[in-house]
Amino acid sequence: MKAHTRETQATMTPEKSIRFLKEGNLRFQQNLKANRNLLEQVNDTSDGQFPFATILSCIDSRVSAELVFDQGLGDIFSVRIAGNFVNEDILGSMEFACKLAGTKLIVVLGHTACGAVKGACDDAKLGNLTKLIEKITPAVKATPEPKDASLRNSKNLDFVDSVAKKNVELTIERIHQESPVLSEMEKNGEIKIIGAMYDINTGAVDFYE
């Protein structure tokens, strides 16, 4: 499989980009990698890059977007931060990726059993991590069930995963609210912004479309 070129990137649509990621994740689950020569892709991308998607994911070592979607060099922009939330720098990176570099899709990728989400559920305090966790706290507060306070913590993995999903939804809301550039592109049909959840037990990605 060759690296994307300006010409192949131009043929991509938001819907086709989603299909490429779904097909790649299916290959990953089946342990069937696309046939790529990575050194050849190094050479092919030396004069430019033409990715088709931008993935915002957690720093979790088990959730490498390039691996779980079976993508090669030059295929995707990968933005990683614990808890997969956005700030000005990340929004600016996404605007560059879509408006200037031509990606057709933004995926906010959460995952099950997320450590950052667990920290937010427990209101953990630890140096600079405290401020990071506060970015996820709105998702904890916006997750209504269970009402029993004794079950609203990291020991309840169903609650953790519910918060992780809500965090993805709120992150997408923030992208819409805080990036007029990306919101306008989506309204014009140039890009699509969607959420997804990676299951660390199965390797499957569930897209929220």
Residues making up the annotated binding site for Zn(2+) are 58, 60, 111, 114
Find how far residue 141's CA is from the centre of its chain. Answer: 22
How far apart, in whole angstroms, are the C-alpha atoms of residue 90 and residue 121? 24
Contacts 24+ apart (CB under 8 A), 19-22: 20/52, 20/53, 21/53, 21/69, 21/71, 21/105, 21/107, 21/205, 21/207, 22/205, 22/207
Rounded distance between C-alpha atoms, residue 112 and residue 139, angstroms: 15
Please enumerate, by residue number, every residue annotated as part of a binding site: 58, 60, 111, 114
Q: Over the Cα atoms of the chain, what is R_g?
A: 17
